[in-house]
Homo-oligomer: A and B are copies of this chain.
Amino acid sequence: MLQTATRRLAATDATLLPAHKPPGTRGLILAAGLKLFAERGYAGASIRELADAVGVQPASLYAHYPSKEHVLSALCRIGHEELLRRVRRTLQGCGEDPRDQVFAYVRGHVGMQSAFPMLAVVANAELHALSPALSAASLGLRQQSIQLLTDIVQRGAQQGVFTVPDVWLAVAAIGAMGDRVAYWYTPDHKLSTRFVCEVYAQYALRILAASPAGPSA
């Protein structure tokens, strides 16, 4: 197929932590699949392109993954695991104030999207291509991440710290804002990751009409 006019996302490097990658060829397949699926979509990328990118024959892929779908499934799971891990980590030790927690959550969320743009895009935008059995794990992880934020916003609203017409709408807005980052961020962007994270965390608090922070903790 032809080259695309506009890239689907700005990033060009299929960044993947060593901790994400199984050793050897399995890791190479994941990294190559990540780039292909992110740029062309699951259906738009072929096994042969994937094999070429790995530097191996198409048949050799099946010694490591039982099907093309399993490669995508592994990538989605890694992406959602990394996201959940990050928001949990930033939430750790940030106290009980819902304002601090939202701030921490968004920093973790946006940090994930900018650190692993391709992983974030694939995990979110290609999940629908998987059959139920292979997407279940990722869907569960995603639900956990969303629930974390929902609980925080809900509690903040009950405490009167946040004022929103609808909790769910606010959570959706904050999530959408963060998810989009993966499509335009690149490591050499004029705005630093840190800056984007801080600004979007601030925007999230603004969406929630967070009352000025009192003495936290």
Contact = CB atoms under 8 A, between A and B. Distances in A.
Contacts of A135: 5-6
Contact of A207 (B136, B176, B207): B207
Contacts of A8: 128
A1 to B, nearest CB: 8
Contacts of A173: 177, 180, 200, 203
Interface string A174-217: 01110111001000000100011001101100110100000000
Nearest to A205: B206
A61 interface: no
A151 B8 CA distance: 25
A202 B165 CA distance: 10
Q: How extensive is the interface on chain A, given as a class? A: 35 or more
A203 B199 contact: no
Given A169-B199, A203-B207, A136 B41 contact: no
Nearest to A180: B176
B180 A131 contact: no
A128 to B, nearest CB: 4
Contacts of A7: 128
Contact of A131 (B5, B42, B166): B5
Interface in A117-150: 125, 127-136, 139
Interface in A43-95: 43-44
A130 B5 contact: yes
Interface of A: 2-8, 40-44, 125, 127-136, 139, 165-166, 169-170, 172-173, 175-177, 179-181, 184, 191, 195-196, 199-200, 202-203, 206-207, 209
